[in-house]
Amino acid sequence: MSFQTLGLESGILKAITDAGYTEATPIQMKAIPEVMLGKHVMASAQTGTGKTAAFVLPILNELAKERNPGRGPRVLIVSPTRELANQITDSIKTYARFLKINSVTVTGGMSYKLQNRLLSKPLDILIATPGRLLDLIQQGKIKLKDTQVMVLDEADRMLDMGFIPDIRKIYKATSKQQQMLMFSATFDSSIAKIAHEFLKDPVTIAIKPDTKGHINIEQSLYFVDNQIHKKKLLTHFITDSEMDQAIIFTSTKRNADVLSDHLYHSDFKTAALHGDMSQGARTKTINRFKRNEIKILVATDLASRGIDVKNITHVINYDLPRFAEDYIHRIGRTGRANKQGHAFSLVSPTDREFLKKIERFTDMKIDIKTVPGLEPTKLASQPALKRKGRGSNKPFNKSKKPFKNQTNAARKPFKNQTNAKKRMARKSNQPFAN
């Protein structure tokens, strides 16, 4: 469907055309009309399907109709991370370039002095992360009573990161009469429960995750014996002449730092990206990566959403993600703009359960491959034993129940033997000796 059929303002349509877009995506086709009607919307679609534009475009359309900015924001968009907040900000700048819309972004790591100055002016849209927003509300720097639309973006990520208590406090600071929009990559019972708490009779839009999609991304997995084997495989991949830029995902911030240092000292242009870095350091790293000054970004799942770099040819899961849906977000960093991408996963014996969850979620088997000379041992390529007994790789033998069918004497041999000797002594009138 063409954007021309959605009833958007001419200035917005011109900005969309200048950005190179002509056809609306499924989530945009379904969500934009409902948002424009003022309904509460609960929408889910995987990353890279245009969710941001699905709520930004109709919001800009309504703001363009009535220019009446007040001290408080008319629209509040809450995002779980600074990177995602900045991505939304960039989208607003792109689509509102021909409109007179005032927007401000507040996130942790920014100067309070700068933020207070920006917030002192009339404001249409406020994009914020939960922690800093709540802080400014408690300081009395932001008033939300005039907010007409509130958006909870990437709601599943906010749940994972523990932000829901903060969201409740932020919602309480509003009039509670505003239009509520909730967008998420996935919706499960936990997210549905949260939606019921904030949204009134919402229209539910669910674009089925294209877990078999990413047709331009080659997905492969390589079994590894241990960390030494894993690093050798990694070195093989990143020295491939076909690799332009890559993101290597690790499970922890410490692993990201350690692996980044290891690669840096091996003469690779690399840097780490994770939540313990300051906002300035994270922004600088991302910008360097976008300028291709950094070839390899070693990151936690912080980078699985909100980073759009079109030259990323490889995504390497050095550690498998804990949540299956994060696998989709990770590999979606490559193969963008219809380019060919490669997604490699290094799977150790302890990762087998995560692999099962990913393949169950995607409803596909990832191709198993090997590198000549770096094949795993026969043991490593076999399914891992299920650990039923704590602290042991051996299955627990349910038939061995030492106490259930034994007598009290067998359970407490010393105590009952002593009692038996006492009884015998009493019967024979002999003194009992210990």
Instruction: For the chain, give the mean pLDDT.
Output: 84
Q: Count the Cβ atoms, other than its own, within 10 Å of residue 78.
A: 25
pLDDT of residue 382: 52
What is the tally of helices (H) and strands (E) in the chain? Answer: 16, 14
Residue-wise pLDDT for 165-183, tens only, equals 999 999 999 999 999 999 9
Residue 407 covered by a domain? no
pLDDT of residue 403: 39
285 shares its domain with 196: no
Residue 44 covered by a domain? yes
32 shares its domain with 161: yes
Placement of tokens 């291709």 in the chain? 292
The domain in which residue 51 lies consists of 3-206
pLDDT of residue 390: 36
User: What one-character-per-residue DSSP string does 57-95 give?
Assistant: HHHHHHHHH----BSS-SEEEE-SSHHHHHHHHHHHHHH
SS3 for 307-350 is CCCCCEEEEEECCCCCCHHHHHHHHCCCCHHHCCEEEEEEECHH
Q: Which residue type sits at 167?
A: I
- CA angle, 273 then 331 then 256, to 5°: 25
| Mean pLDDT of all residues in 403-409 | 43
Residue 384 covered by a domain? no
Residue 232 has φ and ψ, to the nearest 5°, of: -65, -40
Cα separation, 357 vs 364, in Å, equals 11
408-421 CB burial, b ≥16 within 10 A, e <16: eeeeeeeeeeeeee
247 shares its domain with 362: yes
- CA angle, 186 then 251 then 328, to 5°: 30
Residue-wise pLDDT for 188-237, tens only, equals 788 888 999 999 999 999 887 655 557 789 999 999 999 999 999 999 99
Share of the chain above pLDDT 90, in %: 55
Residue 104 covered by a domain? yes
143 shares its domain with 21: yes
Domain edge (last residue) among 159, 176, 206: 206
Residue-wise pLDDT for 284-337, tens only, equals 999 999 999 999 999 998 777 767 787 899 999 999 998 787 898 899 888 877
86 shares its domain with 202: yes
186 shares its domain with 231: no
Residue 379 covered by a domain? no
- Greater confidence (208 vs 140) lies with 140
Domain edge (last residue) among 206, 232, 257: 206
What percent of the residues of the chain are helix, what percent strand, and what percent coil, each to the nearest 5? 40, 15, 40
State the pTM of this model.
0.65
> What residues pair up with 315 in beta bridges, in sequence order?
247, 343
Cα separation, 104 vs 126, in Å, equals 5
Least confident of 157-171, 343-357, 371-385, 402-416: 402-416
| Mean pLDDT of all residues in 140-159 | 92
Judged against a pLDDT cut of 80, whether residue 279 lies above it is answered with: no
pLDDT of residue 325: 78
Residue 111 covered by a domain? yes
267 shares its domain with 338: yes
Residue 378 covered by a domain? no
Residue 295 covered by a domain? yes
290 shares its domain with 188: no
DSSP state for residue 275 in the 8-state scheme? T
148 shares its domain with 48: yes
Domain edge (last residue) among 328, 351, 368: 368
* Number of domains the chain is built from: 2
- CA angle, 28 then 211 then 39, to 5°: 30
Cα separation, 268 vs 39, in Å, equals 51
158 shares its domain with 248: no
Which tokens in the block code for residue 334? 């490559």
Residue 345 has φ and ψ, to the nearest 5°, of: -120, 130
200 shares its domain with 226: no
Which tokens in the block code for residue 302? 């912080």
* Nearest alpha-carbon partner for 81 in 299, 289, 258: 299
252 shares its domain with 199: no
Cα separation, 140 vs 143, in Å, equals 7
Residue 27 near residue 55, CB atoms below 8 Å: no
CATH of the domain at 261: 3.40.50.300
pLDDT of residue 431: 43
pLDDT classification of 396: cutoffs 50, 70, 90: very low
pLDDT of residue 257: 94
